[in-house]
Amino acid sequence: MQEYLIAPSILSADFARLGQDVESVLQAGADVVHFDVMDNHYVPNLTFGPMICEALRNYGISAPIDVHLMVEPVDTLIGSFADAGADMISFHPEASRHVHRSIQLIKDKGCKPGLALNPATPLSVLDHVIESLHHVLIMTVNPGFGGQAFIPEMQDKIRQLRTYIDEKGLNTVIEVDGGIKADNIRHVADAGATMFVAGSAIFNQPDYAKAIHAFRQALAQ
């Protein structure tokens, strides 16, 4: 059976009690912690850096941490996030002057590299580097904010990426990020995604377990 990963985006968590909130969402059945890093330069918003990642590890969070870098430049932050306890690190190709070098830096630090593609970024940016990637993060909203609506055209992009990966015989993970809800997750999975980021659809609900269960039920259909 296909294994699906649910990755709550802590962008929508309660920052005043972040450790407890992340612990709660993991106890509620989440698989991975999605950690959105925004710099008010690559995207028009500002969030958190490696110190917060390290603080979560020190608090006792042992689940995989999936760092989504929406920063420019990229390379100077890779080492700090790896040292702070990141497992997966993705970045946007537009924000790196040397994409292959950034991927190698992530690997050299023992983390799993990913490329994050904005809605208007073509899949062709994956040519020549796809073999080095652990995951491709398809943005299904424009990066910078939580709580936006899923862009329907991305369904076809995910499908094309599935074909691209399968034709090469790779097992690259397709991660989707933005506007994922219980009522669209099945369609996104049908298109070929296996890892689902969701911020507002989980953290804005009173019962995290119920929200995650609704995702799993939709995926099991």
Ligand X SMILES: O=C(CO)[C@H](O)[C@H](O)COP(=O)(O)O
Summarize the annotated binding site as residue ranges: 9, 34, 36, 68, 144-147, 177-179, 199-200
The residue whose two tokens read 């993970």 is 173
- Answer yes or no whether residue 66 interacts with Fe ion by CB under 5 A: no
Query: Measured from the CB atom, is 45 or 205 closer to Fe ion?
Result: 45
Given the residues 14, 31, 36, 83, select the one marked as catalytic.
36
Q: Which stretch binds Fe ion (CB under 5 A): 125-133, 165-173, 177-185, 201-209?
A: 177-185
Residues 6+ apart with CB under 8 A from 71: 37, 38, 39, 41, 42, 77, 91, 95
Given the residues 177, 183, 190, 207, select the one marked as catalytic.
177
Helical packing angle, 18-27 and 208-220, nearest 10°: 40
- Region label for 92, one of left (φ > 0), alpha (ψ between -120 and 50) or beta (otherwise): beta
Among Fe ion, ligand X, none, partner that 198 touches (CB below 5 to 8 angstroms by kind): ligand X
Neighbours of 49 (CB within 10 A): 17
Angle at 139 between CA 167 and CA 159, to 5 degrees: 30
Instruction: Please enumerate, by residue number, every residue annotated as part of a binding site for substrate.
Output: 9, 68, 144-147, 177-179, 199-200
The residue whose two tokens read 């299904």 is 140
> Shortest Cβ distance from residue 90 to ligand X (Å)?
10
**Binding Fe ion by CB under 5 A: which of 61, 68, 176, 212?**
68
| Per-residue b or e along 193-209, where b marks 16 or more CB atoms closer than 10 Å to that residue's CB | bbbbbbbbbbbebeebe
Q: Which stretch binds Fe ion (CB under 5 A): 33-41, 47-55, 102-110, 212-220?
A: 33-41
Q: Which stretch binds Fe ion (CB under 5 A): 41-49, 65-73, 155-163, 184-192?
A: 65-73
Among Fe ion, ligand X, none, partner that 144 touches (CB below 5 to 8 angstroms by kind): ligand X
Cα 8 to Cα 13, 32, 84, 107, 170: the distances in Å are: 9, 7, 19, 24, 26
> Shortest Cβ distance from residue 36 to ligand X (Å)?
5
Query: What stretch of H or E contains 65?
Result: strand 65-70
> Shortest Cβ distance from residue 6 to ligand X (Å)?
11
- Assess whether 66 carries a catalytic annotation: no
- Assess whether 127 carries a catalytic annotation: no
Q: Would you name the residues annotated as active-site residues? A: 36, 177
Site residues for Fe ion per CB under 5 A: 36, 68, 177
